[in-house]
Amino acid sequence: MRGPHNILRLIRTGATLERTGAMGAVMEAFEAPKPLRILARTIVWPFRWLGIKGDPTMPPVVRALNALGPAYIKFGQVLSTRPDVVGSDLAKQLRVLQDELPPFSVAEAKKAISTELGTPADTIFSEFSEPVAAASIAQVHKARLAETGQVVAVKVLRPGIERAFRKDVDAFYFAAGFVEFFLPSSRRLRPNDVIEHFDGVVTGELDLRLESASASEFADNTQNDAGFQVPRVLWHYSGRRVMTLDWAEGVRLGDNDALDAAGHDRHALGSRVLQLFLSHALRDGFFHADMHQGNLKVASNGDIIAYDFGIMGHIDEYTRRVYAEILYGFIQRDYQRVAEVHFEAGYVPADRNVDEFARALRAVGEPIFGMDAAKISMGRLLSYLFEVTERFGMETRTELILLQRTMVVVEGVARSLDETLNIWDVAKPVVGSYIKDSIGPKALANDLMKTAKVLARFGPRLPALVEGALIAQVTPEEPKETRLWPAFAIGAALGGAVAAAGFWAALALF
């Protein structure tokens, strides 16, 4: 599929931007130099007739992205949370991409439900509304269960969405390969790996059974989080193309006028949404990775309600500790420690100079911390950090892409609620608490206890493992003392690990 025919797809992308009038708006939003604007439009103009017209009632950029397909719409959703990047006017226009796209018919939705669940939709639901929200991949209906009378939200995939999305991603793969071939310097950024990661994430969003599982796990993890709610999944009414949950009533988080009218404290909401994200990412290693305004509501009691769990992020415990140390180092302005963590984790090649890297990081952090609170930006920090790590040979960390992207989105959401929010002051207690719990004697005791449990499971097999190591190492040419060292080493390591685990576990009790 990834053949030259994708050139036409990419040309059509540029042509659609030009035909819908979005090219100029995009260039203006990103403050592109005038020569670049002239060059881009000169190249694209001959192909303008290939562009898709789109819906003329929509603003130009929204019209173009909506016409180009679901992958482009996803990109627009991210930009809608970044008024500091694209400007407040364009960000406001792009928010319609979150859940206000043209819907498909109720008849098509009911047909999909009946096919998926094996029972006519009218038998399952006594009431079934017109779409209440329509996004790039699915739309949501408000319904009432015929059996219990419970009000629920029913999410249904768009007809043919899998094929439409595959066409977009196929073109992205082609573009990534093209860039890697003609710009060898870009290989450090691993564009193909980045697209593969994006592909995997959104492909998972096309199976609502996986989203149901994510929602269930997320609800279990966050059930004790104050001021936060996750709707319950109704498994008997869910499948691959249909998902049914408790109905969540509330004000959309992006509607500031409605939030003010309801008496909600927007500063407190902005602080909480950022702290919740950091807590979920660091504490649980499992976080909502699509936390734009279209996926968040505020209940009448002030609780934040999250929904749409198609894109979730997962990071292992070691990576969480590394990321927390880097973030906390910037908060504390301890650039030497931030540099050391990059080297310890292997993110920066060992042959580079750690002190020079620390000075480069200082050049990243200090200008940001010197800004007014309203201008301090995690997004800007990540952008500057990217430039520095490029100079020191750091490769793109695909396992952190989703985390970094979500942090930028969540920051945009928090800033849209209160533009004076000091992001670093809000993040400091959450990151500091995680550092305290995950690095130190208590954390070491927990790690050793986990090691002891693993060793205990292999207890009956340890003698055979030691004997096998002895037999494998013994050769006629080696002195007897040398042959015994591997067995002694294995025995000492196992015994030492168990003893250390017991010691630190006892210490932790006190």
Spatial separation of the C-alpha atoms in residues 84 and 205, rounded to whole Å: 28
Catalytic residue among 99, 290, 351, 425, which?
290
**Is the four-CA dihedral 499, 501, 503, 506 of positive or negative sign?**
negative
Nearest alpha-carbon partner for 312 in 295, 325, 299, 293: 295
The SS3 call for residue 346 is: coil
Spatial separation of the C-alpha atoms in residues 384 and 399, rounded to whole Å: 19
List beta partners, residue 154: 141, 244
Report in angstroms the alpha-carbon separations of 86 from 6, 28, 191, 270, 313.
28, 9, 23, 20, 25
- Per the structure block, which two tokens stand in for 476? 């006629």
28: Cβ contacts below 8 Å, ≥ 6 apart: none
Residue 362, CA atoms < 13 Å, CB-side half-sphere: 10
The SS3 call for residue 315 is: coil
Q: Are 308 and 295 in contact (CB under 8 A)?
A: yes
- Per the structure block, which two tokens stand in for 50? 């290939």
Q: Are 398 and 193 in contact (CB under 8 A)?
A: yes
Report in angstroms the alpha-carbon separations of 265 from 183, 201, 228, 260, 273.
49, 34, 15, 7, 12
Q: Are 382 and 404 in contact (CB under 8 A)?
A: yes
Element (H, E) at 37: helix 34-44
- Per the structure block, which two tokens stand in for 9? 């797809």
How far apart are the two ends of the chain, measured CA to CA in Å?
62
> What's at 120, amino acid-wise?
P
Torsion from C-alpha of 303, 307, 312, 316, nearest 10 degrees: 30
Residue with tokens 């679901």: 70
Q: Are 156 and 112 in contact (CB under 8 A)?
A: yes
List beta partners, residue 134: 100, 139
List beta partners, residue 100: 134
List beta partners, residue 233: 245
- Is 290 designated active site? yes
Q: Which residues are catalytic?
A: 290
